[in-house]
Structure 1
């Protein structure tokens, strides 16, 4: 029996929502998913579609969401639909919706930049070399088991979060003389979240296509899709 995946993509074009999600469609097809693609969250208000959806993959940076749409999303996840995504496509979506922020459990706050004297005034000003460090839970969890800590040179997300998140990996923002904070900040980089009967998986790496193609990032996203899905294992 086929599972049903819903891909919701759009918002800020800098994250290449179409190209980014296209990277993962063959994986979903190979794993037995029938895929529907929508370019706005309006589908979340369609109770019939949502009741038949086993997995939502969202890549919708910023943008807005209506009350009936976010209520539909929350209800679907609570009833068992999996919800996953990466980077700003899930952790920087619908900034004005507190109900969405509560559902996801982590919200992008910033990505610190380079030393002012090194700025060239393009997106690479925010590309820092940093490590994604697995937590003890992450070393055992099906999504990240067998992976090692890994290093990326890309945006390093600073995320506001709550204790309902089960954090599988973190990243640490160091103290730098050009920044105003005075101690290192540990931020979740990969987390899961149980919402009713549903599972949520968020990976903050994923700013660009090359980051999504990194073996560890891609593994986390693909395993996260299967784990979050209503048809996934119960481990």
Structure 2
């Protein structure tokens, strides 16, 4: 049986515990044995090298050197990493080695909760199979993004809230490699209720399955 670890915590506005339970349910439906922890100390456990998948849901906060060192080491060794929104790519802002692994870091969401369009770019990828462009209401994430990411979906900023970024095309969903590990990320999912959007839920589910070894 494949095993997954979900580590949740940090800023409560992202509803990390609720999101962790949604993700746990998804993975259990796919036959995973799932362990939930709410301390970054879980990342320092050498035993996580034997997992199939790690899902951080831990906005902002701090991570200790030995924790991030072990986490990045096991992903380089082949453990999958997957996550969404600020739970993965607005975590541990001072840990650049963590950001290097994830492939991006949140820097702004102009207008806060707004309506925007998600455009599917990786239509031939199994993660996006059968999914068309869709409208979405949430924070439209502006990220600093690694150019080596394989981008599967984007969004375009219209400049209403920051005129200087009018027309900027920003990755929303990507996958990448970090060493031998597969890394998946989606910027959708400010609060747990967004998993009720079928496209968002399907993308995250498929992405986590792709990341898992």
| Aligned mates of 2:51, 2:204 — CA distance in 1 | 18
Match for residue 16 of structure 1? 15
For structure 2, the 5+ residue unaligned runs are none
Alignment check: 8 A CA contact 2:4 2:33 kept = yes
Match for residue 4 of structure 1? 3
Alignment check: 8 A CA contact 2:6 2:24 kept = no
Q: TM-score when scaled to structure 1?
A: 0.87
Q: Does 1:36 align with 2:17?
A: no
For structure 1, the 5+ residue unaligned runs are 114-125, 231-235
Instruction: List per-residue Cα deviations over 1:108-132 (Å, max 9, x = no partner).
Output: 010001xxxxxxxxxxxx1111111
Alignment check: 8 A CA contact 1:205 1:212 kept = no
| Aligned mates of 2:207, 2:174 — CA distance in 1 | 10
Larger Rg: 1
Match for residue 192 of structure 1? 175
Map 1:1-235; keep pairs closer than 5 Å.
2-47=1-46, 49-113=47-111, 126-135=112-121, 138-176=122-160, 179-181=162-164, 183-230=166-213
Q: TM-score when scaled to structure 2?
A: 0.96
User: Secondary structure of 1:200's match?
Assistant: strand
| Aligned mates of 1:104, 1:27 — CA distance in 2 | 21
Aligned-residue CA RMSD in angstroms? 1.2
| Aligned mates of 1:72, 1:182 — CA distance in 2 | 37
